[in-house]
Amino acid sequence: MDVCILHHDGEIVVHRKMPTSPEALLKTIAPYGENRVIAVEGIFTWYGLADLCAREGLPFGLGHARSMKAMHGGKAQHDHIDAQNIAVLLRRGRRPQASVSPAARRATRDLRRRRIHLMRKRAERLTHVQQTNRQDNLPEIGQKIAYQANRTGVAERFADPAVPKSLEVDLALIDHDDRGLNELELSMLNPAKQPDAQTLYLLQTVPGIGTILRLVRLDEMHAIDRVPRVQDVVAYCR
């Protein structure tokens, strides 16, 4: 990893590549007093660093990756340059702040985000079935094939034997996706009620927010009192 340490007056005191290990990082920052802040861009490796800072009592700041890229974009981008840019933005108070998800919520939050990927793949397969039907100018299927009961006979609508074979693969994968997603969603429900049952209940009272969406909102917000105003909650949760 690349580490850049700035003095409060802007002088670079350390800027080098070093082994990615807690021991190496702690040894590097040890000579520079107590008033230290660790900042990192919000990429997939920040969990371990956040936990290390929590154990060592070090202030930890997570930068919003997309906003930071927009602020210090340039033709040359690599870890060495990014480390200095992050330090400069932190010193100037211009680093876009991202929320540090509590360690106890990260695994379930990642599971819900993984579900989004799986749902998109399922939607692509459903779309391919519908587009193939339109491509051959056949009458509309009529019923929503998102429901398993409505998929019977869909592949047999086509005269060319190669087309049904292609759609049979799609439909078999959709059936498999349905079973996997059902199991995944059931596994989400019980653990999610434990950390903050009150917030979960309040989200349930909002019209238009279903079970999965309120679980997602709970993981992203952590707790409603983390944001001071109703407008902030709406803006943060889109």
Helix (H, G, I), strand (E, B), or coil: what is residue 48? helix
pLDDT value of residue 193? 54
Helix (H, G, I), strand (E, B), or coil: what is residue 15? strand
Greater confidence (115 vs 198) lies with 115
pLDDT tens digits, one per residue of 175-193:
999 999 988 888 877 655 5
* Strand ranges, E, within 26-150: 38-41, 60-63, 97-98
Tell me how far the alpha carbon of residue 17 is from its chain's centroid.
28
Residue percentage of the chain with pLDDT more than 90 = 11
* Segment 130-159 mean pLDDT: 86
Tell me how far the alpha carbon of residue 6 is from its chain's centroid.
30
* Strand ranges, E, within 53-191: 60-63, 97-98
* Segment 102-111 mean pLDDT: 83
Q: What is the DSSP letter of 138?
A: P
pLDDT value of residue 113? 84
Q: Is the pLDDT of residue 64 over 80?
A: no
8 Å CB contact between 78 and 55: no
* Rg of the Cα atoms in the chain: 24
8 Å CB contact between 28 and 3: yes
Q: Is the pLDDT of residue 75 over 50?
A: no
Which range among 16-20, 42-46, 78-82, 233-237 has the greatest average pLDDT? 16-20
